[in-house]
Each structure stands twice: as structure tokens, then as C-alpha cells.
Structure 1
């Protein structure tokens, strides 16, 4: 796949509970997203997703799907790579949004360079318990079994998992912030391996909510790692965040989406 120009975003964490963030994403779909030939959403578009049947009766989620469809209808190619919170987004949502789902990771030629695009949770190998959980939850037969659980119970389970993960992270930050930062971040070894396997030296990921650019090396291997920002306009006690990466033949720019 060769693309001349693209916008890349991740970790919007859409939910009716975060109305300002949702409003900014809708505005983004109506304005900025239509000015690029290609948009990549690389994971965690939604706060959590426990199956299309559990969410697509909601006017909120239908509106988001329709906004993405309008972007596609305007002539923009929209691609989605699943994240750790919305890896169960399925074909019903894809049909409504008319986007294309890509595997994680995906190797894309954008501008003059080849890039590895990944959500990023697969790179957090300092947390083996999470990697085990990730591997189990990606098994297709277990996902099919999960979908047999009644919808209200699935929704409750999804909310409880997110709540437990948040509490666990907050406790780590309080009692052992260094360990929390290590476990919640990508490892040099995982980044080197994914780039080596794909014969690439440019990496883009989200997941960690630690936006930035890193020049990294391991042995004779060198690469550049771009980390996408999460979006959060609903917690006034925190600095508001919303941005995108724009890539073309001239290079990479961070587009500030705060208004």
C-alpha cells in the first residue's frame, strides 16, 4: 500500500460519558479528516467494545459510525487497526462506517518512507500477565463463546474490566510509579523486533498516552518511534489533549486539534 499523505490518530476513547471529546471527534470528522486523502485510526476509538450487537442500538455509537461513513463518502480512505479496548469491533460496525480494517501491525508506505503502524499494546512486553491476557482474548473461538453471553452481562463485564485496570494502574502509580511506567510502556526489545521483522526503521503507535518522538538504537539497529497522543477534553483537572500526525513527502507534523 502506497499513500501520498495521511492523518493518523488513536486513543480517542469515545463514550457518552465524555461529551466534549466526542464533540471534538465529530468536528474532526466534518473538517480536518476531509482534508486528507487517507485517515488511519490505530486503536481505542471507543472506551470499550464488547460486540457490535451490544453497542449498535445506541444512538451515540450509530452517530459515530455515520460520521466516519461521511468521511469515506467525501473521498477519504479510512483505515482502522484494533486497540486493546475495541478489538471486538466487528463487521456490522465496519459495514455502517464503511471503513477498512487492517491487521495489527500493518506496514504502510506513506510519503517517501515505509512505516510500521501498530496500536502499541503488543509492544508492552514488560507486563507478561497482560501479554498472556491479550493473547487469550484474541483467540477467535473464545471471542465466539464470549458473544454467547447475554448483552447486559457482557457490558457489565467490559465496564468492570476497565475499572479494575484503572484501579490497578493507579495503585501502581501510587506505590511504585517507576514499575507502573515500565509496565505500561513499550520495550526497546519489542520495538526492535517488530521493525526488524518488517525491514523498517519507522514506527508509529499509540496506547501509552505518552506522545512524543524517540530516536532509538539497539546494537546496529536504529529507528524513529512516533507515539500518538490520546484525546481527553472532559477532565478539567488535566491538560486537554487531542492531536494527529500528518505525514507526506515533506515529513511528519503534529497537528494540534485543541480549540
Structure 2
């Protein structure tokens, strides 16, 4: 599939959940007002805080509301979705009902004449060996089939347990060694360089790390630019500054949109 557009918006890591209503409302406004202004919208994973199956979403009024917002958006502009580490179980039924097109991780796109390699970003965190082993196993189709055979309530309990464990491990890592934990949970130059070499690219866009920035990087003679997408959080100002950003690419170049101020 060759993807070429004159303009596009990129978002990721919204972690939508009913317990974050301000973040969810900004997403609904984004779908209604901001996103239709460009030729394509790319959601690079972790749209939801967790996803335990398309069948479970029918029991969630909140996820149904998100589905309707996405379907309305897809009627106005091309909308693409890439699995994240929290919602990689989003399946064909949900995608069909929203009108979104699923992208492989990674995918190459051309926006306004420039080529970009897109990925969620978790596959680039190769310093976290334990996570990479876990990621390999949970992406196996037979493991997912076994998971889907469990009752929805069990699946939700497992997802909540995994989220709690992940948060606890992150907090322990910070207490033991903040610097080491930052290295472990961030992408590596080696992984970024490898994915760009594999796709003959020099521009990389990803999310996952919650460390929004624009980097100019190199590894030996290889040089590239890397844009890290922001996570969204308008509901916890006591712990961090509110965040709601998108990356815009058009004939004027690449720039970050602060969606709180728009």
C-alpha cells in the first residue's frame, strides 16, 4: 500500500478511558474540528488505556462513543490506525465499524513529498529485554486466541493486573536508579538506526515513550531526524502539566500543534 498525502496529522498515546473525561472530550473535539482540515490522520497506537477484545467494547458505552467519533472522522478524512502496546488487540470488527485502516508497525508514508517511517515506538525500546520478550509472546496469534476464550470479566482483570504491575515496576525503577530507568524505557539509537536502514529512510515518527521532542541523531555515518509524539493528559494537572499535542506535516514543513491552546 503506497500512502501519499499533501497534509497529515499524527497523534498517539491518548490512553482514552472514562476516568479521564477532559482528555476524552479533547479527542472528540479533535475529531470534529481539527482532524478534518488535513488529508489524513494517523493514530500511532495506545488510543485506549487498554483493549481486551472487540466483543468487550460493545459492553462499554464509552468505547462506543469513541467508535462513533472515529466513524464520523473517517467519513471526512482518511484515518489510519497502528496498534500500540495497550490496544494491540483491537481487531477487524472495531476497525470496520470505525472506517479506520490498520497499518503495520512499521509503515512508510509520504507526506508533502517527504518520506517518513512510522511506528508506535515500543519495539524500539530494545534496552528493556524483558518487555521485548513479553511483547513477542502476546503478539502471537495462538496466545491471543486463548485469551479471547476467557470471559470478558477475566480479561479485564488480567489487563488491570498487568497495568498495575507495569506501573509498580516503573516506580521501583525510578526509586532504584532514575537514569537507568530512563534508558530502559526509552528507544535506543541502534533500534532507530536499524528500522530506518531497513526502510531506506531518514525521518522517524513514533510515540510510546511520552517524551515529546524533535531529535537530530546519528549512529556512525547514518543520520536521521526523529519526532516523538506527545501523550495526552488533561485530567491530572497535579502530577504533570496538561498535554494534548499533534504533529502536523504539510507543504510548510513539520510542526507541533498544542491542542490545548487551539
The C-alpha deviation readout for 1:225-245, integer Å capped at 9, x for no partner, is 000000000102120000000
Give the stretch that moved more between structures: 205-214 or 55-64: 55-64
TM-superposed CA distance for 1:185, in Å, is 0.1
Aligned residue for 1:47?
Answer: 49
Aligned residue for 2:33?
Answer: 31
The C-alpha deviation readout for 1:200-228, integer Å capped at 9, x for no partner, is 00000000000001100111100000000
TM-superposed CA distance for 1:250, in Å, is 2.2
Distance 1:256 1:114 in 2: 24
5+ unaligned residues in a row in structure 1: which ranges?
Answer: none
5+ unaligned residues in a row in structure 2: which ranges?
Answer: none
The C-alpha deviation readout for 1:134-193, integer Å capped at 9, x for no partner, is 000100111111101111000010011011101110111122101110011000000000
Aligned residue for 1:20?
Answer: 22
Distance 1:38 1:239 in 2: 28
Number of matched pairs: 258
> After TM superposition, where is structure 1 displaced by more than 2 Å over at least 4 residues in a row?
none
Aligned residue for 1:59?
Answer: 61
TM-superposed CA distance for 1:91, in Å, is 1.2
Q: Secondary structure at the match of 2:260?
A: coil
Distance 1:234 1:174 in 2: 25
Normalising by structure 2, what TM-score?
A: 0.97
TM-superposed CA distance for 1:72, in Å, is 1.3
Aligned residue for 1:188?
Answer: 189
Distance 1:205 1:183 in 2: 17
Aligned residue for 1:2?
Answer: 4
Aligned residue for 1:198?
Answer: 199
Matches within 5 A, 1:211-222: 211-222=212-223
Distance 1:216 1:236 in 2: 32
Distance 2:28 2:65 in 1: 9
Distance 1:199 1:101 in 2: 22
Matches within 5 A, 1:159-170: 159-170=160-171
TM-superposed CA distance for 1:10, in Å, is 0.2
Aligned residue for 1:105?
Answer: 106
Distance 1:248 1:33 in 2: 13
Distance 1:39 1:56 in 2: 25
Distance 2:83 2:16 in 1: 14
Q: Verify: 1:171 aligned to 2:172, yes or no.
A: yes
TM-superposed CA distance for 1:36, in Å, is 1.1
Q: Verify: 1:247 aligned to 2:249, yes or no.
A: yes
TM-superposed CA distance for 1:123, in Å, is 0.1
Distance 1:56 1:33 in 2: 25
TM-superposed CA distance for 1:56, in Å, is 2.4
